[in-house]
Structure 1
Amino acid sequence: GMAGLIVGHPFDTTKVQLQTQHGSSSYKGTWDAVMSINKQGWSKGFFRGMGFPLVSYGVVNSVFFGVYGQTLKFFKGADHERGVTYTEVFLAGSMGGLVQISVACPVDLVKVVLQSQIPKGAVRFKGPVQTIRSILKHRGILGMYHGTSSMVYRDAPTFGVYTVSYEFIFNQMTQRRIGDQHGVVASLVSGGMTGVITWVLAIPWDNVKSLIQADPSQTCFKSNWDCVKYIYEHRGVRGFFTGLGVCCLRAFPVNAVTFLVYSQLLRLLNSQSVSYQ
């Protein structure tokens, strides 16, 4: 999972740069952003802001998949052999997406602040520690949750789509016996396709979230709606889909690996629990 995060971070940095640069500093396109970031070097450019997400990646995923699994158990009730409906999978995924925001929002905030300050003239913070200290000093603990509402709009419904898409594609592949007997190919393909599908739906609110979180002083936008109006007035409808291309390139490998690890670990744990009985 962490390997996927490392590989995907340069794509994520490019996405955030495209979303948060505006006015005279706006990029002409994706390649213009890539070349600009490349001038800063790897550590201060493409991998800027990766430290905090890297150390907290496991926690965020554990919260999501933990809540998702427990919610599915709740729906099953005493009948552990009963299958779950796609509606229940959607609700469980949405619940997991909602709860994980409690951990993911501070992580995303610090990451976006650092990623949006890549041009040398824009750098205010050297790293995550300095960023966190500044936010806590000026905004308190609530300042670490700047952008929470836009994350709720982005994550609550799309994580439901995330889990339903995976289960549907995986089931279709296994029923048609596409791939290997252990489900590795099905997990990789289903996870990758799920990541792309989800980000196509999530990208409008992700643009809003990035612009809001890139302004930790909270002086540019009064609300989500204020940010939505800004994007529409200055970039049009296409502005809500800024960064979608690089986002999809990142989404396929990262989510393919994430779901493969999750499904194979679940399979291993289930086989061990059966052998102990």
Structure 2
Amino acid sequence: METPIISQQPAPNVFHDYIAGALGGTSGLIVGHPFDTTKIQLQTQHKGHGYRGTNDALRQIHTKHGWTKGFLRGLAWPMLSYGVVNSIFFGVYGSSLRVFQRLLGNEGSKPSYLCIYMSGCVAGAAQLGLACPVDLIKVILQSQIGNETKNSGLQAQNRRYFTTPYQCARDVVKQHGIRGLYKGLVIMSYRDVPSYGLYCLTFEYLEHVMHKYSLTDKNGITANLFAGGMAGTVCWLSIMPLDVVKSRVQADLDNVYKGLIDCAKKTVREEGVRALYKGTLITCIRAFPVNAATFLVYSQSLKYLKSR
């Protein structure tokens, strides 16, 4: 577990990681939001209501709501915030690599598997402070897109319908205080901290292998795209049950669930274990291009900033 696996040192200027992270995160968001909306719609439907599968969800959202009020609903909020979230993630990731290298006495050498995984975990924890409120508002807005059934699933419970992120955030704070914006923080921690370690580790390993066996172009673009796409796919596959529970807890405005364990129990009891994997197909379809774009822009931006 100690073999150095990445082809470049952490950025010498800490701000480079933050800038490149913001650019990469924004690029990935634009690519993936329509898929993410479909995922949330699938995950927040109860048994006997809503969509018959991924294709049916895509068709109904497009036919009944189109792009602006359907697939792109809730995009404005993450557009303003996810650049910052990813800036924090990649910035802390780069800083953590330098700190762990120094603590392990390997300063100046290439990071090890252990350093990469630990740095990813630290970065995953660091972004939660902003990511949780952003995700909560996004999930609520996306879950409130109607479909062909009347008052189906969680939509029947969520009688308060929001038209803007600001309206949603204001209502949450009015009802529950600032603490309400952090609903789902615990399960997001369980989801994000270890998975982001896996995310970074998978990317750096695959990129290293592709460079080692000359499976990429001279600028490393092919390696960035493939390694980034696979890292995102592997990461999401590892956390789907947690993500389904998180989405349901956050979309539940009337406290149907007493907590994440209660939500998981009720979901399995009413819909079976398969319900914990709702949205897996669309998530994987989304994960590859989103994370390919994110890591491509992040890596190439970082390379450019280092050369200046």
> Which of 11, 35, 38 in structure 2 is aligned with 1:14?
38
- In the other structure, the counterpart of 1:115 is 142
Contact map agreement 2:101 2:115 (CA 8 A) in 1: no
2: CA distance, partners of 1:267 / 1:36: 42
- In the other structure, the counterpart of 1:269 is 305
2: CA distance, partners of 1:85 / 1:225: 36
Contact map agreement 1:146 1:216 (CA 8 A) in 2: no
Deviates more, 1:30-39 or 1:93-102: 30-39
Contact map agreement 2:89 2:123 (CA 8 A) in 1: yes
- Superposed CA deviations along residues 227-274 of structure 1, whole A, max 9, x for unmatched, are 1112211222221111011111111111011111111122222233xx
Which structure exhibits the higher relative contact order, with contacts defined as CA atoms closer than 8 Å and separated by 6 or more residues?
2
Structure with more of its chain in helix, by fraction: 1
| Runs ≥4 residues deviating over 6 A | none
> Which of 210, 230, 245 in structure 2 is aligned with 1:193?
230
> Which of 255, 275, 278 in structure 2 is aligned with 1:239?
275
> Which of 101, 111, 115 in structure 2 is aligned with 1:76?
101
2: CA distance, partners of 1:213 / 1:186: 36
In the TM superposition, 1:27-176 aligns within 5 A as 27-38=51-62, 39-77=64-102, 79-119=106-146, 122=155, 124-176=161-213
What percent of counterpart residues are identical? 47
Contact map agreement 2:120 2:199 (CA 8 A) in 1: yes
Unpaired segments of 5 or more residues in structure 1? 273-277
2: CA distance, partners of 1:166 / 1:24: 39
2: CA distance, partners of 1:180 / 1:126: 46
Contact map agreement 2:228 2:291 (CA 8 A) in 1: yes
- In the other structure, the counterpart of 2:221 is 184
- In the other structure, the counterpart of 2:50 is 26
Contact map agreement 2:27 2:294 (CA 8 A) in 1: no
1: CA distance, partners of 2:106 / 2:38: 47
Contact map agreement 2:187 2:246 (CA 8 A) in 1: yes
Deviates more, 1:162-171 or 1:232-241: 232-241
Contact map agreement 2:241 2:276 (CA 8 A) in 1: yes
